[in-house]
Amino acid sequence: MNHEPLLRLFEDRPGEYISGESMSQELGVSRTAIWKQIRKLEAAGYHFEASRRLGYRLLSVPDNLAVEELTSRLNTRSFGKTIHYFETVESTQNLARTAAEEGAAEGTLFLAEQQVSGRGRMGRNWVSPRGKGVWMSMVMRPSVPIHFAPQLTLLTAVALCRSLKRVTSLPIGIKWPNDLLIGGKKISGILLESAAEDERLRYVIAGIGISVNLEESDYPVELLEKATSLRISAERKWVREDIIAEFLKEWEQLYFLYQEQGFSPIITLWEALSVSLGKTARLMTPQGDITGIPIGLDESGAIRIQLADGTVKPVFSAEMGEPL
């Protein structure tokens, strides 16, 4: 049963209770079918009040992403030109990867209200509750060698940071390589997964998670000291469509700049937004821990770490600890 006729009944009688009996009569289906449909609507974010005597009353509808409005506002060339929108998914990364394997064009975007198995870096879980954040993955097809993939991650972090600052005016900085922080707490993460052939990237799936309207109760307690949201930081809610539209525009512009002028302009922008530079930190690399002062990025996207003996070592992949 499609839920539109049932929703229409509630919309026609705002604030009123409707009995199971009358819904079943008006729609010509069993009361069990009505009950099942209400359960489904509740799972999709609708709230009802149930009274054994009076029936059901619709209290609120979900604050879903207005995808059509978003599409009509986008003035990008390819980023977000095709949007696939879902209520609940395991992870938007998986959907985007399947689409990329089947030939989806660059810029094809997967957006979900909720992820039940959202993935973070290093095999971590990514908290993605319904309707509260931006959980999205986009197909990219850059024609660059595989070892340039870190540059795309850094470029994406710059675009996200610049656009979020523009929309919210919050003091957001980038922790190497691509976490966005407010007051030391993470508000957004980027996960790039790529497929390559003959040393060239076939495609990249750029996964972006932005904790927009999460409240403290949305996080597991152990994350509260490390993570926050735009809403908690600013003490107000944000319109997710504004954030996505601004980000896609900025991201595409930087991507064009990168394709025309290479990575140098991105380095300058990244360094200006970084909160990691100049502070002694420990980096956990696959080859062991390194302690030193991050002093900038190099042309490949590695971070340059000044060691105690004054030498400078590029680090390509690591987890960066708190400043020491």
Residue 320 found at the interface with ligand BTN (CB under 6 A): no
Is 126 near ligand BTN (CB under 6 A)? yes
The DSSP code for 217 is G
190 binds ligand BTN (CB under 6 A): yes
Q: Is 176:320 a contact under the CB 8 Å cutoff? A: yes
φ, ψ of residue 98 in degrees (nearest 5): -60, -45
The span of 34-42, 75-83, 114-122, 165-173 binding ligand BTN (CB under 6 A) equals 114-122
CB atoms under 10 Å from CB of 13, counted, come to 12
Q: Is 207 in the site for ligand BTN (CB under 6 A)?
A: yes
Where are the strands (E) in 130-277, listed by range? 134-140, 172-175, 179-182, 185-197, 200-210
Stretch in the footprint of ligand BTN (CB under 6 A) among 65-73, 121-129, 243-251, 305-313: 121-129
- Please report whether residue 129 would count as binding ligand BTN according to CB under 6 A: no
Stretch that binds ligand BTN, among 7-15, 128-136, 156-164, 277-285 (CB under 6 A): 128-136
Q: Smallest distance, Å, CB 32 to ligand BTN? A: 36
In this structure, the number of other CB atoms found within 10 A of the CB of residue 95 comes to 20
User: Does the protein bind ligand BTN through residue 247 (CB under 6 A)?
Assistant: no
Residue nearest to ligand BTN (CB): 189
Whether the Cβ atoms of residue 59 and residue 48 lie closer than 8 Å to each other: yes
Q: With contact defined as beta carbons under 8 Å apart, do 285 and 202 qualify?
A: no
> Which residue reads 């696939």 in tokens?
84
Pick from 282, 278, 279, 206: nearest CA to 247 = 206
Residue 115 near ligand BTN by CB under 6 A: yes
191 binds ligand BTN, rule: CB under 6 A? yes
Of the candidates 18, 37, 83, 91, which one interacts with ligand BTN according to CB under 6 A?
91
CB nearer to ligand BTN: pick between 180 and 305: 180
Residue 246: CA count within 13 A, CB half-sphere: 17
Task: Summarize as ranges the residues that interact with ligand BTN (CB under 6 A).
Answer: 91-93, 115, 118-121, 124, 126, 128, 135-137, 179, 189-191, 207-209
